[in-house]
Structure 1
Amino acid sequence: MDALDVARWQFGVTTVYHFLFVPLTIGLSVLVAILQTLWHRTGNERYLKLTKFYGKLFLINFAMGVVTGIVQEFQFGMNWSDYSRFVGDIFGAPLAIEALVAFFLESTFIGLWIFGWDRLPKRAHLASIWAAAIGTNLSAYFILAANSFMQNPVGYRINPDTGRAELTDFVAVLTNKVALITFPHTLAGSFLVAGSLVVTVGLWHVMRNRGSADAGAYRFATKFGSWVVLVSATLVVITGDIQSKTMMQVQPMKMAAAEGLYTTESPASFSVLTVGSLDGSRELFAIKIPYLLSYLGTGDPNGTVHGINDLQAQYASQYGAGSYTPIIPVTYWSFRFMIAFGMAAAAIALLVLWSQRKGRTPTSRWLLRAGLVMPVLPLLANSFGWIFTEMGRQPWIVFGEMLTRDGVSRSVSLTEVLTSFTAFTLIYATLAVIEFKLLVRYARAGVPDLTPDPAIDDSHDDAERPLAFAY
């Protein structure tokens, strides 16, 4: 083990951990805005209760996401300084816009939304949560644009004097075809996570508090979240299909590694299960669906899909001697886990809707248990999706331009990287416990009581009232 190995592990662990918060923040910001819009248009108090209830869960998650996200950018300077020198002129531009525009937009309007209850006009307050939601989604786009450059470099040139990549077309970077399809795919996955949380909390209260005055609100939340999950799952499939065809164009090795396809086939079958040799050079046993892989990769059931061995020979001829094959078991199984966990969440949402048909109240303990694990499933799907995306690009840190081993900081020792890796892991583990306990605590508390407190004197001017967290 050397500094490169530990640096990769550190970035992988911190990235996956940070992304546990990101999809919930992206999806829940919009869902809370929709709930508040329903209250604004109908005046129905149950929508206001749900807005404040899920809004509190959104704010807890948002705060944790900000804390864990800061570490990501530090690592570019600490552990990946050679990568930062090479591509900083390009990679830094979308990240700078994300911080200066998108994050500023979401954080400012979240503040207005938190402290603006009963202070801002209703329309202005509603606009605040929508502006925060838009900022959250814009933030995701700029970050994905930066990542997409690593997958499919565009809009740049290599300076022969400095050996660095220089930005020549920022519009090309922002409209990278990988970013244009990764963004909607990521959004769909985010709504899958957020909808699952809404279902879980609503279902728990529906089954545990059947006779409560707020049972109708929880029933609505459960159905609302279930439909969000089902629609999102459908969009994940559609955008994933487009993404696979884009991946076939820009990174055919990743597509071959996802399927464990060692030899070029036309037509190519989709591998449900493949067992290969230990060295990853050939297939030993496989269960396949004919023509499906050709369609996923090319849109043509008889299309040609290049195999791992042929692509390895092509890349060795193009880029020089070396291995250009990712770790096949990781890419193969992460791709399948991504699909399986996402579809499992959709299946539970369908069962939840069926259990509440014609006004029925669900009573199955097995359904409740499935509902309680439901948010974990799309989180795992998202995590395995990113593991596949990043591991499938290996050994490149910038595809076709820079190998991962060439991007690590040369002056950072193994001891230094191990120290920071251990510290971050322990801190993140502590934050994970705090996040889980806070979410569980406030989720169990249920929707707030909106009955005015007679002990509060509203006779004074609003300007004299102290600024308070209005939940």
Structure 2
Amino acid sequence: MDEVLVLSRIQFAVTVIYHFLFVPLTIGLVILVAIMETRFAKTGDSLYRRMADFWGKLFTINFVLGVITGITMEFQFGTNWSEYSKYMGDIFGSPLAIEALLAFFLESTFFGIWLFGKDKISPKLRAFSMWMVALGTNISALWIITANGFMQNPVGYVIRDGRAELESFTALITNPYAWHMFFHTVISCYIVGSFFVMAVSAYHLLRKNETPFFKKSFKYGLVLAVFAATVTPFIGHQSGVYATEKQPAKGAALEAVWETQSKMPFHIIQFPDAENEKNSFEALSIPRIGSFLYTNTFDGKVTGLKDIPADERPNVPLVFYSFRIMVALGTFFMLASWYGVYLYRKNKLENSKRYLKMMLYSVLLPYVAINVGWIVAEAGRQPWAVYGLMKTSAGVSPISLSQIIFSLGSLVLFYTILLIADVYLIVKFARKGPGTELAAGTEGGGIKHVS
């Protein structure tokens, strides 16, 4: 059973990470496409029409392939985690059903109107459709995170006949843990979308290709990046404080705190030694900052890992280093964004080759940051599937080792093919650029018809 458990966890982790290579770009890019559609509807400037079509094409590729990975992920609750589904089905099923019936149909319906109604609907309706797609993607994220939020912080439930049953739907949807996760996740997705737009724009600006088009695109990505990268540390801080309160083991693992202490310092450099329950090296310590980061007070008390049973601790090195990578990358995103604002205001952006190359080569870093963030959230909750109620080992399906090996191998192969297709198509059309033809519905740079 241990091997089945380990492989089932690996399979679900692989599924989530693959899926989460598509989702952040969908959530982040759709906002920019909707803004471009709105600008065209208001101004009639054909530049915005071409921008919306170009970035909308890249959004379409990612959106379609991302939907496929999401469908596969949900099947695993029945195949690999049937015991978890029996225990949690009454609670977990509600937000997932609403997500499918409300959010997915909202975004897919209006996405179809936007995509196939290009030559048949007015610019205003096309802009409205894309905003509805954006609303749908965010509602989808909200309901999925609501379900996950219960796993992190169970609320509004009763235990009846050996399973968790929903007692208060209001408590479920107002779970503070879920809302902290939602804002932190969605704003992080905006960083992914904005850095993607800036990276593709930088590629073309370096080649002096369609400079007005890509300078304007870079500007829109930069504005979103500055907003998202600036507010993320504050949202993340509050999320970390709340997580430490509700999950002391996760909070202790974030900073590798072994001894319970007040007025805890923050060590800029340290290396955890989980085997000996200590840190092998600590340097550049700042007094009391550690307590502030995890309790919002400089005198706050942080529970150490030694005061938590060994079988209820997460993988400390995994959580610790993932958290450090996320924070370091978040700092880079904020500095890079604000430096871009400086260059843009000084009208030096298109001639700053070093900066443009840095942004081009940074395109994958937001993906790394957001996925290590999810590792922190999910690995930090272990060994609990539902915190304090059900351990992960109790939720796995009674299946054979050969079955899980076959499904894991098939899944990796299938997802790798999808990922290769996604990267190939996005790179192909991103490098091709927007083309020189006028967009449908425009003539001579103005609007042919607007209703």
TM range (shorter): over 0.9
SS at match of 1:153: coil
CA deviation profile, 1:57-103 (whole Å, cap 9, x unmatched): 11111011101111111111111000000001000100000000000
1:344 touches 1:377 (CA, 8 Å); kept in 2? no
1:296 Cα deviation from its structure 2 partner: 1.7
Q: 2:439 and 2:372 mapped to 1: Cα distance?
A: 47
Residue matched to 2:444: none
SS at match of 1:449: coil
Q: 1:452 and 1:281 mapped to 2: Cα distance?
A: 63
Aligned sequence identity (%): 41
Q: 1:446 and 1:408 mapped to 2: Cα distance?
A: 47
1:345 Cα deviation from its structure 2 partner: 3.0
1:14 touches 1:72 (CA, 8 Å); kept in 2? yes
Residue matched to 2:418: 431
Residue matched to 1:185: 184
Cα gap change, 1:73/1:361 in structure 2, threshold over 3 Å: closer, same or farther?
closer
Does 2:247 align with 1:251?
Answer: yes
Does 2:264 align with 1:277?
Answer: no
Q: 2:352 and 2:86 mapped to 1: Cα distance?
A: 57
Residue matched to 2:35: 34
Alignment equivalent of 2:311, drawn from 290, 309, 323: 323
Residue matched to 2:448: none
Mean alpha-carbon deviation: is it higher for 276-285 or for 174-183? 276-285
SS at match of 2:269: strand
| Structure 2: gaps spanning 5 or more residues | 441-451
Matches for 1:315-354 after TM superposition, within 5 Å: 323-354=311-342
Report the residue type matching 2:413 in the other structure. L
Q: 2:226 and 2:329 mapped to 1: Cα distance?
A: 14
| Structure 1: gaps spanning 5 or more residues | 313-321, 454-471
CA deviation profile, 1:370-409 (whole Å, cap 9, x unmatched): 2222221111000000001100001100000000100000
Number of residue equivalences: 438
1:226 Cα deviation from its structure 2 partner: 1.7
Q: 1:328 and 1:277 mapped to 2: Cα distance?
A: 9
Q: 1:351 and 1:197 mapped to 2: Cα distance?
A: 17
Report the residue type matching 1:347 in the other structure. L
2:118 touches 2:126 (CA, 8 Å); kept in 1? yes
Report the residue type matching 1:182 in the other structure. M
Q: 1:199 and 1:249 mapped to 2: Cα distance?
A: 37
CA deviation profile, 1:412-458 (whole Å, cap 9, x unmatched): 111111111111111111111111110111111112434379xxxxx
Matches for 1:148-297 after TM superposition, within 5 Å: 148-159=149-160, 162-209=161-208, 214-287=210-283, 288-297=285-294
Residue matched to 1:119: 120
Q: 2:369 and 2:126 mapped to 1: Cα distance?
A: 34
Mean alpha-carbon deviation: is it higher for 284-293 or for 422-431? 284-293
- RMSD of equivalent CA atoms: 1.6
1:326 touches 1:392 (CA, 8 Å); kept in 2? yes
**TM-score, normalising length from structure 2?**
0.94
Q: 1:361 and 1:265 mapped to 2: Cα distance?
A: 48
**TM-score, normalising length from structure 1?**
0.90
Report the residue type matching 2:202 in the other structure. L
Q: 1:358 and 1:413 mapped to 2: Cα distance?
A: 64
Q: 1:257 and 1:263 mapped to 2: Cα distance?
A: 11
1:365 Cα deviation from its structure 2 partner: 4.6
Q: 2:365 and 2:357 mapped to 1: Cα distance?
A: 13
CA deviation profile, 1:205-255 (whole Å, cap 9, x unmatched): 112125xxx321211111221221121011211110110111122111101
Q: 1:90 and 1:266 mapped to 2: Cα distance?
A: 37
Residue matched to 1:316: none
Q: 2:220 and 2:322 mapped to 1: Cα distance?
A: 30
1:8 Cα deviation from its structure 2 partner: 0.4
SS at match of 2:396: coil
1:363 Cα deviation from its structure 2 partner: 4.0
Does 2:416 align with 1:416?
Answer: no
